[in-house]
Structure formats: C-alpha cells, structure tokens
A and B are shown apart, each in its own frame.
Chain A
Amino acid sequence: MGQVAKITQVSGRAISVRGNDIDTDRIIPARYLKESTFSRMGEYPFYDERFDAAGKPKPHPFNDPKYQGASIFFVNKNFGCGSSREHAPQALFRFGIHAIVGESFAAIFASNCVMMGVPTVTVASSEIKELMKVAESDPQIIFAVDLQAKTLSYAGRKIPFDIPDSHRSALITGSWDSTSMLRANLDKVKKVAAQLPYMTGFRG
C-alpha cells in the first residue's frame, strides 16, 4: 500500500436508518464474522432486518431501490454500540456508505470507521430529524460533508457538524491508516518499553 488518501469531502445521496442504540450485532449478525476476510461484508449490513428466515427481502431502507447508491448515512443516538467488530463499518463501507452523520456514535465503532477513512460526524437531534425527512422525501438530493469547513450542505442549506479534532485531522491529512505513522516511531516505542518495570520482568 502506498500513500493514504486525504479525505476532505464526501458527497452523495443519503439513506437513513432510524432508532437509538443500534448495536453492531444488528448491523452485522455474528455468523458473518466467521468469514476470514472482509471481502463479502457488503452483502450483509442489517441482514436479519432486511431478510426473513427464508431469505425473502423485508421492507428496509437498505433494500429500497430508491436509496441504492447512497453514500451518506443518517442515524440517531449511540449508533454502533456493543461489539468491537470492525465487520460492522466494513459492511456499511462495502455497501457504499462513505460518511455517517448521526446524533452520537459508540466509541469503538467511531474509531473503527476513522481507521477505514469513513468520517462519523454529529449534528443536533433536531437537525438529524430534518435531514432524515429531507432524504426520505427526495432521495435524489445530494448532501456534501465538508471536513475542512465542518459543514454539511444540501439544497442550498449549510449546517455545522462536530467531529473529534483527531478524527478530522487524520482524515484530511491522510494519516487515518495509522500503521506507518506509528511504525515510524519504533525507536521511541522501544525506549518507552524499556522504562516500564513489567517489560523487564521487575528486575530491580
């Protein structure tokens, strides 16, 4: 892998899933974690809510043709709580979601997203209500998440959003795929390790 892309803006049509505390077991049922790569995860987001036991589709935004191709995802509070499974953001990303706008996100989910280059940004509860309404009434509307300006624009309207500074910085400077950045410090890492008593077996 070479340079990591700088992510400054994500724009596209939007899709919404309503409800607080949507956990990662709902985003991707555990049985799909038995696959040894992420490659097929895009087939599974919200699987048990989208399909019945016989595999027949149920009404769900992710099954609805009018939202196909959407890349911005609107959610409510504490989205992605529960299991740390990176399969959850992988499933959303591979389905086509490139930015998530919500009222709040669970900690591990949000950090998994940023490490994949997917911004999770927060807006007020009243705003998300309006955004979901707008996207549902006209699924063709284009929303633009601007990470430089910290604004979300659509149909001539511009609203501010929040994102942790470190997430924003990692995305816009292209350091979200952190391994190389961390690895460049290996000498310092070894120095810190040598200072920790348990690393030397507590030898006096």
Chain B
Amino acid sequence: MAKGSRRTLYDKVWESHTVDILPTGQTQLFVGLHLIHEITTAPAFDMLREKGFDVAFPERTFATVDHIVPTDMRTRPFLDSQAEELIQALEKNVSEFGIEFFGLDSDKQGIVHVIGPQLGLTQPGMTLACGDSHTSTHGAFGTLAFGIGTSQVRDVLATQTLAMDKLKVRRINVNGALSQGVYAKDVILNIIRRLGVAGGKGFAYEYGGAVVEKMSMEERMTICNMSIEGGALVGYVNPDATTFEFLKGREFVPKGEGFDRAVAYWRSVTSDPDARYDDVVNMDGAKVEPTVTWGINPGQAVGISEKLPLPEEFSDPEGAKKAYEHMGWRPGSAILGTPINVAFVGSCTNSRLSDLRAAAKIAKGKKVHPGIRALVVPGSAGVKALAEKEGLDKIFLEAGFEWRAAGCSMCLAMNPDKLQGREICASSSNRNFVGRQGSPGGRTILMSPAMVAAAAVNGKIVDVREYS
C-alpha cells in the first residue's frame, strides 16, 4: 500500500515499528511496551538463562501479580504453595533482570490490563505485548496490543521484538446510540454473537461509529478486551480527545510541552478518513439489549428478552447441543428468571471504577438475595482506593457483597475464588468456557456489571432496565 495515503492506524503503527522482513516472510516488529505477570513468564526467563541472553530493553517491561493472588487473605507465604512458588519466581526474575515490579504490596498492583492504562503506560501509537490473550484491552487507546505465548514472551525479553504476520483490518461501526441500561459489555457480546467466536481470525478489529466515539475509555477497554473472544488478536479504537483527556496527568505520560508533542504524535497515527479496510461491518446500537450468554462460548449470547435459540438455528448444531447439555437449559425457554448461586463483579473486562459504580448504583440500599455468594473484586489497588474514596465499598458491604482486594479472582480459577459443583455464576468476566471458573461442572453466564448486581439482589437473572 502506498505510504501516506488511505492508511489505517494499524498500517501506520505496523510500519513505524517494523524492524525487518525476516527470511520466513514475517515482520520483525518492535514492541514498545511489554507487560508481564506471574503465570506465563517463569519458563520464558528460564529459556533466557538457558540461552545466556539478557533482557534487551529492561526499562520497557513492567511486571505485576494478578492471576494467582488471593483477593482476601494476602499474607505471605500464600497458603497455596504453588502460588507462592510462582510469585517468588517472578520476584527473583524481575530483580535479576532489572525489571520494574508492582508487587503485592504496591499501590500500583492490579490486573495487568487495568494498571497499564491507569498508570499511563499504555499509550496511542505504541505496540504492546503481554503473555495474556486479553492484551487486546489496550487497543482502546489506539495501541496495537498483542496477546502472546510464553516463547514469544522470551522473544520480547531477549529482543524487544516479535516475529509476526500482518493482519487484515475490519472496521466495525456501532452506529446510533445505546439505550438506558445497555453497556459496552452488551455491545461486544453482540458483536461476537454476530461475527462468531472465530469470525475475527486473521483480522484486527477497528471499532468506531457514534456509539464507540461517545464511549469513555473504560467502556472502550471493555469492547477491545473481548476482541480475542471474537477470534481477533487485535482490537483498537482510534485515539481522540477522550483518549488524551484520560491520559493527561497520569504517571507515565509526559507533562507540559512533552504532552503536547505526545498528542501531536497520537493524532498522527489515527486512521485516515478515507482509510482502506479489508471489511466493514455496521451495527445499530439502538437494537442492542442487555445481553447474556447462555452457552459455553462468548458467542452463544441472547438479548435478555429473547428466548433461547434452537440448535438447528446454528451452523454447528452439535456445538449448540453440547452447550445445552452442559448448561442444563432447554432450547426455546427464557433465560430471564434463571436462578443463580454466585455473582461476580470483576476481571480485566469489567473491574474499573465505572463498572463498580454501575454495579453499586443497582446494589445501593438493597440486599444480596439469601444464599447467594456475591463478590466485588476491583481490578487494581488504584481502582480499589478510588472506589473506597467515594464510598462504593460501603454500599457493597451493606448490601451483603464481599469487597475484595485486586486480582483476576473468579474469572479463571487460579486462585482461591472458584465455583463449586454445578453452581451458576452471573459474571462480568469474559469467558463462559466449561470449567473456566474452577469447577468442571460450573456454569457461567456473562453479562454487564449492572446486570450482575441486579442478579445478585434478585437471586436470578433479571432485566436491569427495570431496576435502573
């Protein structure tokens, strides 16, 4: 493609970060920011030692702990000796290789995808990699952010680059306006439902249109976060005044004239008005309802007023039947009114301040339904402090929710927060895979934080529009 014309943000950032074309035909791409956590990195550091390599740009890697950390009892050593061993491995690795670390006691600790933006580490026009599939979250800033595996973490540590194939770009316009009670989570669940869990394979998703342009940074992060659930490795939004306003004054963002120069650069990377896309999809925001998943992947979702679909309506009826078998519902019935056992507000998808506010607004003055375990887990120590400053913790505690410390918690069953047996969980997380929340028979229903709070106080799945 001709330089300087009709380029997307993806094209521009890809080009400015290209180091070389490798003999395999792949591009060697510079990685501007590398975020690491305790789970996918220990073998990568071992491989470095084995090969005798140092970390090429230690000042461009930042570490924290999120996946394994308990969100209640945080005293060391952890009761779980494996968790303790992993955190010790990370502590040893960051100190040996000179990497800045936001550890358990740091006020900057938190879910890696929450703290990057919160600290202003994540910036437009940057490439970013992290050994976690939800790295696409950072795309909300106009960052090309890639979820990578452990061998790739090793490559980034050793070279600050990755060998990658260029993706196509699909523009997704969410037009019109959302109605009251409908959130970013509902939008992305509908995008995945429509395009499929594998529909984004080979694509970067560029989100735009009136709905996305109007969204806050936190809402855009929710959308970009789940790009990978639609099969797209990368999702992004072009940076704009909302982005710059969010970043201004944050710790790792330049100040004064440096900020002005940064904004000029950030503006320069946005997609050209006449940018060429490989595909364009239009959606009507007004048609999006509060949405919940009914099956075992995030594409198996319905609007709250809809009936559950028949397996024959799908291109893969066997897959739908398997989902029904696991979940135990009947096709054609309603998901509205389904009783729940557990409610979880948290995860890198929905654990930021605006998410907690939305849940607190529903919970205020109400009580968690008897017999239901309800958890609110802020995404970072920073989010927790801000929420407490405005009294959200008290609202949740008075309503009977547990108010926890920051971590991935019940999203993924690597820490003590897990489902038991066949429990049904109303969850603001990102994956309803079989066994995802820690019990092979457990059942996850994904939804927005407001919907989770409404389910918690009613003891069943309800339509949040009737409660807000």
Contact = CB atoms under 8 A, between A and B. Distances in A.
B254 interface: yes
A106 B43 contact: no
Interface in A95-133: 104, 106-108, 111-112, 115-116
Given A34-B68, A186-B159, A198-B265, A83 B440 contact: no
Interface in A14-42: 19-21, 23, 25-26, 29-31, 33-38
A77 B257 CA distance: 51
B119 interface: no
B436 A189 contact: no
Contact of B262 (A77, A116, A198): A198
Interface string B24-50: 111010101000000110110011001
B151 A31 contact: no
Interface stretch (A5-13, A59-67, A141-149, A166-174): A166-174
B126 interface: yes
B413 A29 contact: yes
Contacts of A193: 30, 57, 160
Contacts of A81: 197-198, 231, 297
Given A19-B319, A37-B46, A183-B159, A196 B86 contact: no
Interface string A56-89: 0000000000000000000001100111111001
Contacts of B86: 34, 36
A33 B39 contact: yes
Contacts of B155: 178-179, 182
Contact of B440 (A21, A48, A164): A48
A155 interface: no
B16 interface: yes
A54 interface: no
A34 B16 contact: no
Contacts of B133: 82-84, 108
Interface stretch (B99-107, B142-150, B301-309, B329-337): B142-150
A1 B47 CA distance: 9
B17 A196 contact: yes
A14 B327 CA distance: 31
Contacts of A20: 316, 318-319
B19 A34 contact: no
B185 interface: no
A144 B83 CA distance: 42
A19 B318 contact: yes
B126 A198 contact: yes
Nearest to B295: A21
A34 B82 contact: yes
B51 A179 contact: yes
B385 interface: no
Given A26-B434, A178-B155, A1 B51 contact: yes
Contacts of B85: 36
B231 A166 contact: no
B19 A23 contact: no
A182 B23 contact: no
B197 to A, nearest CB: 6
B30 A107 contact: no
B42 A108 contact: no
A36 B434 contact: no
Contact of B149 (A111, A173, A197): A111
B152 interface: yes
Contacts of B126: 198
Nearest to B159: A182
Interface in B411-468: 412-414, 431, 433-436, 438, 440
Contacts of A195: 16
A201 interface: yes
B23 A173 contact: yes
B379 to A, nearest CB: 18
A122 B365 CA distance: 56
Contacts of B83: 34
A50 B349 CA distance: 31
The 3 A-B residue pairs whose C-beta atoms are closest, nearest first, are: A112-B149, A86-B149, A78-B198
27 contacts: A1-B50, A1-B51, A20-B318, A20-B319, A23-B433, A25-B412, A25-B436, A33-B39, A34-B68, A48-B440, A81-B198, A81-B297, A82-B229, A83-B412, A84-B40, A107-B201, A108-B147, A169-B25, A179-B155, A182-B155, A182-B161, A183-B53, A186-B56, A189-B161, A192-B18, A198-B126, A202-B259
Interface of A: 1, 19-21, 23, 25-26, 29-31, 33-38, 48, 53, 77-78, 81-86, 89, 104, 106-108, 111-112, 115-116, 164-166, 169-170, 173, 175, 177-183, 185-186, 188-189, 192-193, 195-199, 201-204
Interface of B: 16-20, 22-26, 28, 30, 32, 39-40, 42-43, 46-47, 50-51, 53, 56-57, 67-68, 80, 82-83, 85-86, 89, 123, 125-126, 131-133, 147-152, 154-155, 158-163, 165, 197-198, 201-202, 228-229, 231, 233, 254, 257-259, 261-262, 265, 297, 316, 318-319, 322, 412-414, 431, 433-436, 438, 440
